Structure 1
Amino acid sequence: MKPSQIQILLAGLLVDVVSSQAPKCPDYSIYSKSRHEPFSSGKHALSSARPAPSCRTFNSTTVETLLSNMTLALADPDLYRLFENTYPNTLDTAIRWRGHAADNRAEELAFIITGDIDAMWLRDSANQLQSYLALVEPDPAAANQPDSIASLYRGVINLQARYLLTAPFCNSFQPPPESGIPPASNPAAASDIVFPTYDKSAVFECKYELDSLAAFLQLSTDYYETTHDADFFGKFLWLEALQAVLETAKSMTAPTYDPDTGAVLPSAYTFTRQTTRSTETMANDGLGSPVRETGMIRSAFRPSDDATMLQFLVPANMMFARYLGSAKLIVDALADRAPAGLADEMAAFSTSIREAVTKHGIVPVVSTNGSGVETVYAYEVDGYGGAVVMDDANLPSLLAAPLSGDLSNIDPVYVRTRARLLSADGNPYFMKGSVLDAIGGPHAGPGMAWPMASIVRILTSNDDEEIVRVLRELIGSTDGLGLMHESVNSNNASQWTRQWFSWANGLFGQMILDLRVRKPHILQQSFQ
């Protein structure tokens, strides 16, 4: 049901305190570009980058207590300042609006921006919240408080469900009408020709990315496994959105040609854009490069929002299979409300994707020293034997595959793949330099290393020496601003893109909390 104008006006009264205070608070996209006292007492003299409490978009006592407690866990002043700035960054700056559906006051909604772009990506918002998963309140009384992290999760799940029912092939969305926030302009999308068509007042950009569908499953699974609140998933639009995800994914398993007649089959999704960048549009008038049927799911674009070269994006298929399998548990718990056979369909589809990844996604390559042939995971394949052997910094990535729990970081194929990805001889997008040795990607281009990839490198490593070396690089990569950038010139920390990138900031904090459990002795070291 579309909300009426009266309902929207009434809902607009619920716009959070941030909106009413916005005129008094600095624009964070400007504020975060300059340094602010007090500086950290270490050699990097890192800026204090948090907004004043009254200007933060979400205040959490739990987070503030955690930040205070971490002063004992983090001995280095620069490292602590970096954690203090980055971990709460999404809560401090990116909870753009919270409220309720106009046609159902019980349905919570939360609109989370990525940072300096005033739109909500399915992938980014799921990852931004994942940083706070450990703080989700499992106790029902606490979880139902309006300022709980659990409430944020419910609001984002509900809004993502609405988005997926509106335009399941799209990746990035406009504020909900209830927020009263006007749609953001996206000049880059002005020339887009997309099938299926979509409403630009609801959608910011419509690049079909398999990981966007997987992000909805991940977000749902994270919340359910923490709270066991199955009843929530049966109240609103989650089951309908889940079925839209399944239908969309299955439609993209189709090959390019009819195997019997050779005729070109119509595609469930096509995309073209007038652009000077090849990564911003799809080949063959929007069809993309041809693929054979493999059991894997096509993805027109990567998590970087760049077009795939070959449409079977291996890490996205891994992620989708993993979280489709775990989301089945939610459907099991909703047996009295879920369509008959839905859980079995999910389990079978998850298994078939995993089998297809093993069959088609592992490819032989010449070892980097030329001594022989080894098998590794490809980044993209086409079912014809074609493979793109590389990695991209954005998640899901091959480097990050163990983080979902579906692949061990001691798996022999992963170990070989990891070694290749972290080598300038094996990965064309591994950026080596005096500031960062890290994976980048076409999105920011050669020479631009992504801190996100360095963070993932630490999260997937058991090697103390490697962790310390990469952590030291990250501390020195912020240009004194004390925030994780999108990308940094691997040889010049003063050249970077996007100083306000909430996902990377939260992931850095998430990594520090992981080290506190796995490697607390490393956090007691000096990085001076």
Structure 2
Amino acid sequence: MRPSQIQILLAGLLLNIVASQAGPSCPDYSVYSKSRHEPFSSGKHALSSARPAPSCRTFNSTAVETLLSNMIPAIADPDLYRLFQNTYPNTLDTAVRWRGHASDNPAEELAFVITGDIDAMWLRDSANQLQSYQAALEPDPAEASRADSVASLYRGVINLQARYLLTAPFCNSFQPPAESGLAPAGNPAAASDVVFPPYDKSAVFECKWELDSLAAFLQLSATYYESTHDAAFFGRFLWLEAVQAVLETARSMMAPTYDPDGTGAVLPAAYTFTRQTTRSTETLANDGLGSPVRATGMVRSAFRPSDDATMLQFLVPANMMFARFLGSARLIVDALGERAPAGLVDEMAALSASIREAVTRHGIVPVVSANGSSVETVYAYEVDGYGGAVVMDDANLPSLLAAPVFGYLANIDPVYARTRARLLSAEGNPYFMKGSVLNAIGGPHAGPGMAWPMASIVRILTSSDDDEIVRVLRELVNSTDGLGLMHESVNSNNASQWTRQWFSWANGLFGQMILDLHTRKPHILQQSFQ
């Protein structure tokens, strides 16, 4: 018999009481999250209580705690509610490593948000981690100005990301700011890196050029603006300068490999990367240049959102996302009026439109149908401008599957619908993992057989089919090995084999998906997943 909502509420209260009695010593969450902790959920999976004690949480948000409480009657299944309770606040509970202000401007908020088990801040990850809390962003100026508001956390991350982009715009992950007093994290994998342009390793954790890092900065900015309408914030500190750096960097990576004058000369590279490694996905071919490309109107990306090297450098989903949020962020620049550089709005709008046109012209490719009976057009994952295309998808966002999630197109778009069907089949996508536990897209980062819960979450976010949503949601509930958290990847046939139990981006995305279902399909959350 399923427990009542009162029993679930009492279990949550007990969890907080037990946590509050844990004392002043806070465990290392990278260790704590590998073990199961009482009280367990009352469903058949008996999921662990994975939240730290309130005194050990890295950021406490009244808005998020209220949202968690308000969702109790909306989620009937005790295991599903425990997953939501554990995952949605995970970034706030565990990953806000430091908050403060700039040393040269006490009004400039800063926030250093780590990925989870890696003590560095990725532009992409931190933006996506905060994206999950859009529902808790305070639109009221008085509420948003409080130091403990989610809006304050957004401002701190946007300001720090702007600083990072002005420091090293080709880099993807960064060390804590000097104001924090935190020691830089070591990165043995990067010890042999030879990167152009050079960068300061005391400020940068890793310098892989990923177009989605720039897109993530624009996305986070647009989300904050859309929810708060606080345009003035963007004119106070370094945001406009960072946007200009984003445009300059992106344009430099639109150049082809060879001079188009017909001489065959190799053009000077705006970015190169080599690393001594046994993994081909950790370095670039051709002495750091990557695979050759012709000009297409898209922006090159040396690495994917997984931090794996691209095979062909025009990464289609990254260009989709960049075009989408260039268009959104220009609205902020427009709202700033004369405080913004002349012509910046038009430049952003024109570049967004031209990249969209290039994605349509070069990113849609013909493929033979799975049964070999016909030819259809789908979005490629990567292209090179020479006619080469990689037809697949990777679990990490931005992905082709996630194009409707970040608002590039609708899930009813016919090319997207064909692409989605292909990506979610073992016959059409070499990185679709089938199994008895989880059927989901993976990628080279964790390898064959390892399905990513993140991709299952995106599958739900892009589906209107109740049966599909329920089936995938049931797989997710069954995939946590009792820990009650979303892993990075899970063996598609064995839930006890997984990578990264503490991956706060995937956790937040799971909570975001539950809130989306509460809006779109609340009846699904009233079902049992036992």
Moved more, 55-64 or 371-380: 55-64
CA–CA distance in structure 2, aligned partners of residues 192 and 116 of structure 1: 22
- Report the counterpart of residue 337 of structure 1 in structure 2: 339
CA–CA distance in structure 2, aligned partners of residues 194 and 212 of structure 1: 17
Letter in 2 for 1:454: S
Letter in 2 for 1:417: T
CA–CA distance in structure 1, aligned partners of residues 23 and 77 of structure 2: 34
Q: 1:521 aligns with which of 520, 523, 527?
A: 523
Deviation at 1:22, TM superposition (A): 11
- Report the counterpart of residue 197 of structure 1 in structure 2: 198
Q: How does 1:52-201 map to 2 (within 5 A)?
A: 52-201=53-202
Q: 1:290 aligns with which of 274, 292, 295?
A: 292
Identity %: 88
Deviation at 1:67, TM superposition (A): 1.0
Deviation at 1:23, TM superposition (A): 7.5
- Report the counterpart of residue 223 of structure 2 in structure 1: 222
User: 1:451 touches 1:484 (CA, 8 Å); kept in 2?
Assistant: yes
- Report the counterpart of residue 7 of structure 1 in structure 2: none
CA–CA distance in structure 1, aligned partners of residues 65 and 326 of structure 2: 34
- Give the aligned length: 508
SS in 2 for 1:110: strand
Q: Where in structure 1 are there 5+ consecutive unaligned residues?
A: 1-20
Q: Does 1:280 align with 2:299?
A: no
Q: Normalized against structure 1, the TM-score is what?
A: 0.96
CA–CA distance in structure 2, aligned partners of residues 75 and 23 of structure 1: 34
User: 1:272 touches 1:282 (CA, 8 Å); kept in 2?
Assistant: yes
Moved more, 397-406 or 509-518: 397-406
The one-character-per-residue Cα deviations of 1:322-367 (angstroms, maximum 9, x if unpaired) are 0001111111111211111111011111000000000000000000
The one-character-per-residue Cα deviations of 1:447-491 (angstroms, maximum 9, x if unpaired) are 000000000000000000000000000000000000000000000
Letter in 2 for 1:99: G
Q: Does 1:488 align with 2:507?
A: no
Letter in 2 for 1:422: L
- Report the counterpart of residue 317 of structure 1 in structure 2: 319
Could you list the runs of 4 or more consecutive aligned residues of structure 1 that deviate by over 3 angstroms after TM superposition? none
CA–CA distance in structure 1, aligned partners of residues 159 and 244 of structure 2: 15
CA–CA distance in structure 1, aligned partners of residues 408 and 509 of structure 2: 19
CA–CA distance in structure 1, aligned partners of residues 396 and 225 of structure 2: 25
Deviation at 1:63, TM superposition (A): 1.1
Q: Normalized against structure 2, the TM-score is what?
A: 0.95
The one-character-per-residue Cα deviations of 1:71-107 (angstroms, maximum 9, x if unpaired) are 1000000000000000000000000000000000000
SS in 2 for 1:286: coil
SS in 2 for 1:45: coil
- Report the counterpart of residue 10 of structure 2 in structure 1: none
Deviation at 1:400, TM superposition (A): 0.2
Q: How does 1:423-438 map to 2 (within 5 A)?
A: 423-438=425-440
- Report the counterpart of residue 458 of structure 1 in structure 2: 460
Letter in 2 for 1:369: N
The one-character-per-residue Cα deviations of 1:359-388 (angstroms, maximum 9, x if unpaired) are 000000000111110000000000000000
The one-character-per-residue Cα deviations of 1:483-524 (angstroms, maximum 9, x if unpaired) are 000000000000000000000000000000000010100000
SS in 1 for 2:490: strand
The one-character-per-residue Cα deviations of 1:220-271 (angstroms, maximum 9, x if unpaired) are 0000111111110000000000000000000000000001111000110000
CA–CA distance in structure 2, aligned partners of residues 23 and 127 of structure 1: 31
- Report the counterpart of residue 420 of structure 1 in structure 2: 422
- Report the counterpart of residue 502 of structure 1 in structure 2: 504
Q: 1:376 aligns with which of 369, 375, 378?
A: 378
SS in 1 for 2:448: coil
CA–CA distance in structure 2, aligned partners of residues 174 and 200 of structure 1: 8
CA–CA distance in structure 2, aligned partners of residues 399 and 355 of structure 1: 20
Deviation at 1:62, TM superposition (A): 1.3
Instruction: Give me the CA root mean square deviation.
Output: 0.9
- Report the counterpart of residue 398 of structure 2 in structure 1: 396
CA–CA distance in structure 1, aligned partners of residues 304 and 205 of structure 2: 17
Letter in 2 for 1:147: D
Letter in 1 for 2:198: T
Q: Does 1:445 align with 2:462?
A: no
Q: How does 1:33-44 map to 2 (within 5 A)?
A: 33-44=34-45
CA–CA distance in structure 1, aligned partners of residues 337 and 68 of structure 2: 41
User: 1:22 touches 1:55 (CA, 8 Å); kept in 2?
Assistant: no
Letter in 1 for 2:150: I
CA–CA distance in structure 1, aligned partners of residues 407 and 294 of structure 2: 29
Deviation at 1:306, TM superposition (A): 0.1
- Report the counterpart of residue 9 of structure 2 in structure 1: none
CA–CA distance in structure 2, aligned partners of residues 509 and 468 of structure 1: 16
Letter in 1 for 2:163: R
Q: Does 1:246 align with 2:247?
A: yes
CA–CA distance in structure 1, aligned partners of residues 207 and 316 of structure 2: 21
Q: Does 1:269 align with 2:271?
A: yes
CA–CA distance in structure 2, aligned partners of residues 170 and 116 of structure 1: 20
User: 2:24 touches 2:55 (CA, 8 Å); kept in 1?
Assistant: no
User: 1:318 touches 1:354 (CA, 8 Å); kept in 2?
Assistant: yes
